[in-house]
A and B are shown apart, each in its own frame.
Chain A
Amino acid sequence: MKKIKRILIANRGEIALRIIRACKDLSIETVQVFSEADADTIPVKLADRSICIGPAPSNLSYLNPSAIITAALLLDVDAIHPGYGFLSENSSFASICEDYGIKFIGPNSSMLKLIKNKANVRKIAKEVGVPILPGTLDPIEDEMEARMIASEIDYPILLKAAMGGGGRGIRKVSNQEELDELFALAKRESFTAFGSDEIYIEKCLSNPRHVEVQILGDGKGGVVHLGVRECSIQRKHQKIIEEAPTLALNSNQIENLTRTAVKLAKALNYENAGTFEFLSDDVGNFYFMEVNARIQVEHPITEETTGIDIVKEQIKIAENGTLSIRQEDVKQKGWAFEFRINAEDPGTFTPQAGKVDFLHFPLGPNIRIDSHIYCGYMIPPFYDSLLSKLIIHGPSRENCIHTAKRALEEFTIEGIKTNIPLLLKIVNDKDFLDAKISTSYLEKFTNNGAN
């Protein structure tokens, strides 16, 4: 294994900054690549070396493997950290890195290729005895087959694109008429969006909760888990509030969930950090959904409850090929929340671009903020709308919600609209306080967003 002395960060915004901070802590040099739209950003200023790789559109810069590899070779980096999104789960990019002897911080290219096909992973899960939602194991060929399976497992069902991800490529079907109408369309959509018309069927749970397990693996069957998170507060499959651990399951069920995730990660020989996502129902059954083979946006709540720096661990695994943590050293303590502060209209959810005219972060005890914005920052319209992650930790869930209220009231961003008003409504909502939440929880705010 090669010592990592210099890392190129193939990402932007808060996660780029997060990775630079981890590198500085580990005395590793950083190279920040950036698009023309990001010249005046903090990661670009803070990295040891910054280099412009292309114009604003992502496909010409952050999604441009040739430009990124060229920068990596010219600046002689040992490894590339892809962050999340962009090229983070792109197996051909990882494979190019391997060809050039640059360590891709994440799973290797063949693992990424395997995991990209959700139907594949579902099959492996089934083989090793991990509960999955009723549905198909192989891609379905035609409407007749779809009809048969649907009537077997009962409506509503989901038509899922095998190569989909990030909440895209999913169609809910409530009855046979809808199935007849949507089947061919879903196949075509999948082909257009993901280059493959492979579709599989999954039973659609009503009001499930989203629970997930943070995994670290050495790629040789060594796996530890860093506990659970719940991410049920979401809109259109985009998470908005996450917490760690969860009240969706009792402690025995959580124990069982983490054991199950570890079993699957071992079966995959999973390498580096990853998240194993599950859905749970109201009686504590859980079903494997998918693997996110990257660092995740919500990783800080696991860091706050376990005291483990996941980004540093990613780098250490990439460098040594071994885990520095033993399972018995991992204890999830207290509670943590993450609130995603997005630049968007709180009523219509339209992303907002513009200038941050005034900014005040609500710091103080039990609060961590991961953010790349500053007073005067221009939010470019080219990328996602995440401005800041407000991370609260404390001894208990109630405690955290109390702190969250004061933090959200104090948080001031002027010049652009943000979703802070919506987050404030949620932390004052009784169902949220009582943890009576599910993936459809947010609908009550979005259907009558006016009040």
Chain B
Amino acid sequence: MENEIIEIVKNLVSIIKSNNLKSISIQSKELSIQIESSEIFNIEKKEFIEAHQKDKPPSNDEVKENGNYIFVKAPLIGTFYRAPSPDSSPFVEIGDIVEPKQTLCIIEAMKVMNEITVEKRGKIIDIYPENGEMVEFGKNLFKVELLAE
């Protein structure tokens, strides 16, 4: 039954998409399904994001295209720590070469230590927050110069 419903929904979604419909509904004795498309919504979202992008610092992708830097941003709000514990040495220093998936720092939120990693191989050019500082969502943490892998 579950699988059948999933199949039906899949088919309806593809009908909505291919015919650019706003909503579709079917009804039988056992079930009724109504699906509304959020396509219009998505277009608005895209426009909204585009309109806002000019005021924002360039995103990771854009910078990559220009050349050699990426910014590692805070994926959540919390306290920024450069080392795994107060008496250990920092994960990274300026000038260090880092490998993909390497931990750069910790952000603590509600007593959970979240390890923040880097996606690409590169060299740490700058570290923005101080150890123990509060960071907002989206704040630049590290500037990394990309290096060939």
Contacts and interface: CB of A to CB of B under 8 A. Distances in A.
Contact of B134 (A74, A184, A354, A380): A74
Contacts of B137: 36, 52-55, 61, 67
B52 A378 contact: yes
B110 A69 contact: yes
A280 to B, nearest CB: 32
A58 to B, nearest CB: 13
Interface stretch (B40-48, B62-70, B87-95): B40-48
A230 B51 CA distance: 40
B51 A355 contact: yes
Contacts of B79: 74
B87 to A, nearest CB: 23
Contact of A66 (B41, B47, B55, B109): B109
B77 A185 contact: no
Contact of A382 (B40, B45, B51): B45
A67 B138 CA distance: 13
Contacts of A382: 45
Instruction: Give the interface SS of chain B, mostly helix, strand, loop or mixed.
Output: mixed
Tier of interface size on chain B: 20 to 34
Among B40, B41, B77, B136, find the residue whose CB has the most chain A CB atoms closer than 10 A.
Answer: B77
A71 interface: yes
Nearest to B79: A74
A59 interface: no
Contacts of B29: 181
Contacts of A37: 48, 52
A72 to B, nearest CB: 10
A36 B45 contact: no
A140 interface: no
Contacts of A67: 76-77, 109, 137
Given A37-B48, A66-B109, A378-B48, A54 B31 contact: no
B122 interface: no
A415 interface: no
B44 A381 contact: yes
Interface in A277-335: none
Given A185-B32, A350-B40, A54 B76 contact: yes
A337 B47 CA distance: 35
Contacts of A426: none
B110 A70 contact: yes
A52 B110 contact: no
A54 B77 CA distance: 7
Interface in A64-93: 66-67, 69-71, 73-75
A214 B76 CA distance: 38
A111 interface: no
Nearest to A382: B45
Contact of A52 (B32, B40, B45, B136): B136
A353 interface: yes
A382 B48 CA distance: 10
B31 A381 contact: no
B138 A36 contact: yes
A268 B76 CA distance: 39
B77 A71 contact: yes
